[in-house]
Amino acid sequence: MHIFSGYNDSIANIPGTSIHIYSILMGIAVLVVLFSSWFKMYRRNIPTRTLEGSVFIIIPCGLLGARLWYVLNHTDMVHGFIDVIAVWQGGMAIQGGIFAGLIVGLIIFYRASLKYKISMWVYLDCILPNILLGQAIGRWGNFFNQEILGWDTGQAFPWLPSWINDHLHYPNDHVEVYRHPLFLYESIASLVGWVFLIFVLPKIGFWFSKKPWKIEAEKYQPLWIKEPIVKSDYYQPWKVVKKLHSYRKWKKSCWEKAYYDFEPEKSLIKDTKLRTFKAIKVTPTMNGVQKIFVSQKNFFRKITNKFYQDASPLNQSYNPNQYKLTYTGAMGAGYFIFYGIIRVILEPFRYASDIMMIGSVRTSILVSVLWIILGIVLLVFAQFIASKKFRKKGWLYEKQY
């Protein structure tokens, strides 16, 4: 007999099937990710038609990916093809949905990138960080499924309400068990990661940069000099808060004018320096093997030739004061870093039998470390290589070039 009383995770029963809370929460998570991404693109004046149209492709692929990932780990429940695609039955895994959605999304938005001359890094920044927000919501579906739990702690968590404490166990636990609420840890960590990537990371470059009001003091006279906080203000704290808020808004407007709204004269714009590429000619005297070898050599030379480009003149034209920036791609890369860190921290609290596909805590941690490495590589590439090598006039990056 179970000490804890179970509860039904279905909110509606339809003849032959049921609607599970997990599925509802996953659907809400997907909608939140899409709306957040749409809003980000809308605020940056990026055409949203691609995102709106991709909904009808990415969502079904994401749901099928989530279902397939779950089924691969529960092959005993598969009795036919319909069981593989039965997303309405509630068995889905977030990892599969993310993986499938990423692959399909990369293909769709790469084509949009070429069409609208918008850097692929921009699309990654607008979409990937919001997946953390979706994960923060979706993980609560695991609570209703009574899964994603850790070791038994032997006692309830005093800081958690009873409606959570009473269900920190697996359905097959026959004794009073209180397991680590890993779903809750991941939900909170994902939310923190989303806040950092959206609201903090984009500003880090400006924190370490020289300031417009110091370079052009006459043009940008600091507001705290015009309207300083005086001793009497401390007796009315709301005045201090109001002035600090006005200082923050003033700084933002300075950066808008000094960098984002700055447009160089067309005659002064310098384009990216390109190194002349000379392809090896295929001659009639060459045999088949030699022709293949030359074609491959030309292909690789064409790719590596791009690394000899120099976008510094173009960047100098649009950023003459050389302000330090958090370049496009940093937020998108940050998603992989945060997701990997969350997994590395939480995996040791899980049983090997609970880990999908892998079945080994060590291997799972290794895979998570690879996610972190991927994120770091992308971050370094976006911040220090792509921004200096692969930029073109007329494309959108941090701003329109």
Domain boundaries in the chain? 1-209
Would the annotation count 275 as a binding residue? no
Structure tokens given for 276: 């002349």
Least confident of 66-70, 187-191, 261-265, 343-347: 66-70
pLDDT in tens, 176-206: 788 889 999 999 999 999 999 999 999 999 9
pLDDT in tens, 97-108: 778 888 898 999
pLDDT band per the 50, 70, 90 thresholds, residue 117? very high
Pairwise CA distance, residues 346 & 341, whole Å: 9
Q: What's the CA angle centered on 333, arms 331 and 337, to 5 degrees?
A: 110
Q: How confident is the model at residue 1 (pLDDT cuts 50, 70, 90)?
A: very low
Separation CA 322–CA 125 (nearest Å): 22
Higher pLDDT, 384 or 83: 384
pLDDT of residue 376: 97
Q: What is the spatial distance between Cα 94 and Cα 26, in angstroms, rounded to a whole number?
A: 8
Res 28 pLDDT > 70: yes
Q: What is the pLDDT of residues 232-255, one digit of tens each?
A: 888 888 888 998 999 999 999 999
Q: pLDDT at position 362, please?
A: 78
Measured CA to CA, the distance from residue 4 to residue 168 in angstroms comes to 9
89 has pLDDT over 80: no
What value does the mean pLDDT take over residues 324-343?
A: 95
Alpha-carbon 117 to chain mean position: 21
Q: Which long-range contacts (CB under 8 A, 24 or more apart) does 395-400 make?
A: 395/117, 395/118, 395/119, 396/44, 396/46, 396/116, 396/117, 396/118, 396/119, 396/122, 397/119, 397/121, 397/122, 397/327, 397/328, 398/260, 398/325, 398/327, 398/328, 399/259, 399/260, 399/318
Residues in the chain: 401
Q: What band does 129 get if pLDDT is binned at 50, 70 and 90?
A: very high
Q: pLDDT category, 210, cuts 50, 70, 90?
A: very high
Please tell me the predicted confidence (pLDDT) of residue 15: 47
Average pLDDT of the segment spanning 340-366: 77
Mean pLDDT, the chain, as a whole number?
83
In the prediction, which pLDDT does 276 show?
A: 63
- What's residue 133's pLDDT? 96
From the list 68, 135, 60, 40, the residue with the least C-alpha distance to 105 is 60
Instruction: Dig out the tokens for 109 from the structure.
Output: 């938005």
Return the pLDDT at 83: 63
Please tell me whether the overall predicted TM-score, pTM, comes out greater than 0.85 for this model: no
Tokens of 381: 């590439």
pLDDT in the model for residue 151: 86
Q: Locate 29 and state its tokens.
A: 């998570």
Query: How confident is residue 353, by pLDDT bands cut at 50, 70 and 90?
Result: low
SS3 assignment, position 299: helix
